[in-house]
Structure 1
Amino acid sequence: MSKLKIAIQKSGRLNEDSLQILKDCGISIDNGKDQLKASASNFPLEVFYLRNGDIPQYLRDGVVDAAIIGENLLVEKGEDIQFTEKLGFSKCKVSLAIPKGEKYTGLSYFQNKKIATSYPKTVQDFLAKNNIQAQLHIINGSVEIAPNIGLADGICDIVSSGSTLFKNNLKEVEVLLKSEAVLAVSPEIKKEQQEILNKLQFRIQSVLKGRQSRYILLNAPNDKLEKIINILPGMRSPTVLPLAEEGWSSVHSVLNKNEFWEVIDALKENGAEGILVCPIEKMVI
């Protein structure tokens, strides 16, 4: 039986988040310690644990059919590789930073300066687009130390919380791009593997929709029911059921988690009571 070969980062946060979304998709990975390859016991899937920077080439060559990878890495090493889904985790920025004590005057600050980075293509494209000439020092790992030892005037690196910059006495001054994990596809993928990937992507979309939503149940007096229903967005329309107590109904609906508190406030103001909110594991549309 054909299997879909998918690559994920060998270790780190992206590895953990990638395995979690596969688990949430109902896929059980027989993952032994220090394995470089593992199979799913209940889905036609093989997982390859690879060094992050090698994944674009493995996709390009068709060694793996798909990958969960940072969008920033595709920009740097795999512009020819397409992705089919943004996954909503491992969000970060690729940013330029300089020492805190330096006065930043705009991009012209970097004219004829030295920039240390692990993302030379991304930086060079950004500088060229803005007509800035700078000298790049390519460093793999520990880029933040470069200004402190006199190797560079600034850096370009991944920024998540900003704590690493803060610890190294640096400040973020320009965001080159925003990134998150994506589901990337090999240009060499075969038809059978594409069909398996479509099934996996359907499961992923259901998980992501569930993560973005909340299930809400509430009690509403019938004389205020119309106002309350108009507040609730719902998937199509809210479900309304009569309560044992005359004159009251139970209303069920789905909310976007980002709009949650604003909607709750409006519901309370319009007479809703006994509001119960639950997470949604998966949502199939």
Structure 2
Amino acid sequence: MSKLKIAIQKSGRLHQESMQLLKDIGISIDNGKDQLKASAQNFPAEVFYLRNGDIPQYLRDGVVDMAIIGENVLVEKATDINFVERLGFSKCRVSIAVPKAMPYESIKDLEGKQIATSYPNTVNQFLTKNNVNADLHIINGSVEIAPNIGLADAIVDIVSSGSTLFKNNLEEQELILNSEAVLAVSPLISIENQSLLDKIQFRIQSVLKARNYRYVLLNTPDEHIPRIIEILPGMKSPTVLPLAKQGWSSLHTVIDKNQFWNIIDELKQNGAEGILVCPIEKMVI
């Protein structure tokens, strides 16, 4: 029986969130300590635990069929590899940062400067686009210390919270790329495994949609139902169920999680009581 070969990062935050996503879509992995490969118990799939930077080549060679990987890695190492889904986690940005004491008005200030980075291809593309000539000092590891020890005038690195830049007296100046985890696919994936991938992608889409919505239940006098329905930005029409108390009903609907606090006061002013907001695990539309 054909098995879908899935690559994920061996360790780090991307690993943890990737494993959680597999769990959320119902794929149970028997993951023993220090295993490099593990089989799913309830889905025809194997998971390969790899170094993030090695994953593009495994995809290119068809050793794995799909991977959960940072978009920034694809931009740097594998522009020939396509991704089919943005996964909404491990968000970061690839940015240029310079010492706070360095005068900086525009990208032109990096002309002739030394830039330390682990992303030479990404940086070269950006500099070429902006007609800037600079020398790259390629570092694997702690790029942010380079200006402090005289190795470079500026750096290009991944930025998440910005705390590492702050600790090293650096200031973010130019955004090169916004990145997040994506679902990348091998160009050599078989027809049989493409079918398995389609099933996984459908499950992922259901989980991702659910994370953006909340299930809302509320009680209201029957005379307020038309107005409540107007207020609720539901998917279609809310479910209305009569309560044991005469003249009262319960309304159930699904709304965007970011809209709830904008309408809560209006719901209360128009008779809504006993409002419950619940997370949704999966949502199939």
- TM tier relative to shorter chain: over 0.9
Paired position in structure 2 for 1:46? 46
Matched, 1:166 2:161: no
Matched, 1:61 2:65: no
- Deviation for aligned residue 1:230: 1.5
Amino acid at match of 2:195: E
TM-score, with length taken from structure 1: 0.98
Amino acid at match of 2:261: W
- Can you list the C-alpha shifts for 1:46-100, whole angstroms capped at 9, x where unaligned? 0000010011111011010000000111111111111111101000000000112
Paired position in structure 2 for 1:272? 272
Amino acid at match of 1:205: Q
- SS of the residue corresponding to residue 115 of structure 2 reads strand
Amino acid at match of 1:281: E
- SS of the residue corresponding to residue 234 of structure 2 reads coil
- Deviation for aligned residue 1:223: 1.9
- Can you list the C-alpha shifts for 1:96-135, whole angstroms capped at 9, x where unaligned? 0011222321111111111100011111111111111111
- SS of the residue corresponding to residue 259 of structure 2 reads helix
Paired position in structure 2 for 1:31? 31
Paired with 1:192 and 1:153, the residues of 2 have a C-alpha distance of: 51
Q: Give % identity.
A: 73
Amino acid at match of 2:117: T
Matched, 1:113 2:124: no
Matched, 1:141 2:141: yes
Paired position in structure 1 for 2:233? 233
- Identify which range, 263-272 or 231-240, moves more after superposition: 263-272
Paired with 1:265 and 1:100, the residues of 2 have a C-alpha distance of: 45
Paired position in structure 2 for 1:91? 91
- SS of the residue corresponding to residue 271 of structure 2 reads coil
- Deviation for aligned residue 1:162: 0.7
Matched, 1:204 2:210: no
Paired with 1:45 and 1:235, the residues of 2 have a C-alpha distance of: 34
Paired position in structure 2 for 1:191? 191
4+ long deviations beyond 3 Å: none
Paired position in structure 2 for 1:250? 250
Amino acid at match of 2:188: E
Amino acid at match of 1:162: G
- Identify which range, 238-247 or 126-135, moves more after superposition: 238-247
- Identify which range, 216-225 or 30-39, moves more after superposition: 216-225
Paired with 1:247 and 1:75, the residues of 2 have a C-alpha distance of: 60
Paired with 1:134 and 1:253, the residues of 2 have a C-alpha distance of: 56
Paired with 2:184 and 2:114, the residues of 1 have a C-alpha distance of: 33
- SS of the residue corresponding to residue 268 of structure 1 reads helix
Amino acid at match of 1:87: L
- SS of the residue corresponding to residue 258 of structure 1 reads coil
Amino acid at match of 2:277: V
Paired with 1:185 and 1:151, the residues of 2 have a C-alpha distance of: 38
- SS of the residue corresponding to residue 83 of structure 1 reads strand
- Deviation for aligned residue 1:153: 0.5
Paired with 1:266 and 1:76, the residues of 2 have a C-alpha distance of: 48
Paired position in structure 1 for 2:12? 12
How many residues are treated as equivalent by the alignment?
285
Runs (5+) with no aligned partner, structure 1: none
- SS of the residue corresponding to residue 7 of structure 1 reads strand
Amino acid at match of 2:199: K
Q: Tell me the C-alpha RMSD between the 2 structures.
A: 1.0
- Identify which range, 243-252 or 86-95, moves more after superposition: 243-252
TM-score, with length taken from structure 2: 0.98
- Can you list the C-alpha shifts for 1:19-51, whole angstroms capped at 9, x where unaligned? 000001111100001110000000011000001
- Deviation for aligned residue 1:234: 1.9
- Deviation for aligned residue 1:263: 2.4
Amino acid at match of 2:238: P
- Can you list the C-alpha shifts for 1:217-252, whole angstroms capped at 9, x where unaligned? 001222221121112122221111112222221110
- SS of the residue corresponding to residue 67 of structure 1 reads strand
